[in-house]
Structure 1
């Protein structure tokens, strides 16, 4: 039976229930007919207003039609209302602008700059433009309790906010706020999503379009992040040495990963047919690199054609690559280098989803 994933979200100050599922025409038509269901054009997701008893109503409506996974749906206190935050005054805007320039000069990535800039802006707006020199650690504790936790934001979001605010105040002198005693939240232990080799093969073989198949195959065969694939240039493929050079990826690092004979053959076939001029994968009518949105669409089309109903993302292919390497006996240190992880602890998470050791464990059920 087809599955829908229900999660909490907010539209402005209004709590809503997100309805997520891999694209399926029949399922989409079923969801849109649920009373009060709306489509968010920015977030690209279906949603309904959160109300007490709404889950029971949905369970009754979708009974026998779709399975509802509401494990991540939490109860919301509807009595809570959140006031609109004031706009920043001119001086604080200038301070944040200087902070942004400092991060750019330090070569922080564009996404990190935006995340930290927005985090500081929200914090200062919450404090209603309180002068920076008067801000104390108690202000941050109140912000954490009354803004982040009250809205049910995730631990990862809280961690990003903490990082941004700490960095902002580290260069300030003569202030009451001490960034060194602000602690990050306990990190949630979430296992990576992994596909079986059979599922990966079905997804990779689903496209007849040579470019689409080549992109998905290269992500899996080299364990690439989405941005790493899109930033690849023709010169990054060293066919003589059978390696792929990934330049200035996460953490501003270069790394080299091996190219299998099978993927090299596919890339040669792709190159002869499409003749890219600069980037390995370029847009349909442009020499610029292929867009992120189009790449995500390629995966969605593959899932529809393959019939796989899991909410697969491009990063699942990277997780699957690492796990399958581990299950074949590849040393964890080598996997760390291939993925570009700074710490071996990051790579060790794949030991928790590998079934190589689990399959050797005897179950007492077999003796019954």
Structure 2
């Protein structure tokens, strides 16, 4: 008979603090899971006695044994630091855990024609509406699932995004093409509260949105694995290629820093097309 899995309880104040500072549901779930993993690694120890060197060793073992990603490494570190720094209020410098070196990979995008192929290949009207809304407004998947019916401002041609990343409200564009699709969708599906609802009128799970977008890429025979965030990146890149000012794109995407938005200049085909190779100058200048 298999042994029952050990029940690990979070330390007093951990979950309560996460809820008081209004972290998102997704972040709370992630922090709680990763901190419980951390507690399991030190079963006979009180948390206050664990030293920074031991925490670094713990993270190092996860990298070696489980090959955790840089993103997961950072999340696990954040979950641990939250307890020591925010719940216990201990010195930040003391718990300066080694972070992975930040990589500077460019965002992955698809072309306008590939977006169109995805929409044409998707016959389910709700799924088509989801894909069109993400791309048309440059939304994160968490922002999409939290959209309410009343957040679509048809009269102003705007979408209101409530308490997005950083708990900040913002607005994005509502395209004429999306208006047509959404009105058909609303008439047929008649959602109750959220713009897109699953079974029992419940809010969509973010993972389901990923499956819908990825499946659309497969149906369209695209030679890449398409994700919701790729649609957001593509939206920003295509806006830039149309000549939209970076400051407007920054506001629409909800970026705090302009440096985050500037990365799209590195993937814009139109920006590259304007650059003349010195080889052309050399050859063109010869008789």
Give the structure 2 partner of residue 321 of structure 1: 235
**2:160/2:171 contact within 8 Å kept:** yes
Q: Is the 8 A contact 2:214 2:225 kept in 1?
A: no
Deviation of residue 294 (structure 1)? 4.4
**Residues 248-267 of structure 1, C-alpha deviation per residue, up to 9 Å, x if partnerless?**
22222211112122222222
SS of 1:245's partner is strand
TM-score w.r.t. length of structure 2 = 0.85
* Alignment CA distance shift 1:304-1:158 (3 Å): closer
> In 2 relative to 1, CA 365–359 (structure 1 residues): closer, same or farther, beyond 3 Å?
same
Whichever structure has more strand as a proportion of its residues is: 1
Conservation of the 8 A alpha-carbon contact between 1:88 and 1:125: no
User: Structure 1: how far apart are the matches of 2:203 and 2:194?
Assistant: 6
Rounded Cα–Cα distance in structure 1 between residues aligned with 2:90 and 2:111: 56
Structure having greater relative contact order (Cα 8 Å, sep ≥ 6)? 2
Counterpart secondary structure, 1:184: coil
Residues 31-46 of structure 1 correspond to what in structure 2 (within 5 A)? none
User: 3-state SS of the aligned residue for 2:172?
Assistant: strand
Partner of 1:19: none
How far the C-alpha of 1:208 sits from its partner, in A, is 3.0
Tell me the matched-pair count: 277
Matching residue of 2:195? 280
Residues 220, 321 of structure 1: 8 Å contact kept:
yes
TM-score by length of 1: 0.68
Q: Which moved more, 1:336-345 or 1:297-306?
A: 297-306
How far is the alpha carbon of 1:303 from its aligned partner?
Answer: 2.5
Structure 1: gaps spanning 5 or more residues:
1-85
The question of whether the paired residues in 1 share the 8 Å contact of 2:158 and 2:174 is answered with yes
- Identify which of 244, 256, 260 aligns with 2:171: 256
Given the superposition, is the C-alpha separation of residues 128 and 360 from structure 1 closer, same or farther in structure 2, using an over 3 Å criterion? same
Q: 1:117 to 1:302 in 2, by over 3 A?
A: closer
More helix by share: 2
CA distance in 1 between partners of 2:39 and 2:123 (Å)? 52
Distance 1:140 1:291, change over 3 A: closer
Structure 2 spans left out of the alignment, 5+ residues: none
Distance 1:88 1:275 in 2: 43
Aligned counterparts, 1:153-172, within 5 A: 153-170=68-85, 171-172=87-88
Is residue 139 from structure 1 mapped to residue 46 from structure 2 by the alignment?
Answer: no
Which 4+ stretches in 1 moved above 6 angstroms?
none
Query: Could you tell me which of 362, 365, 368 is aligned with 2:276?
Result: 362
SS at match of 2:270: coil
Matched position secondary structure for 1:158? helix
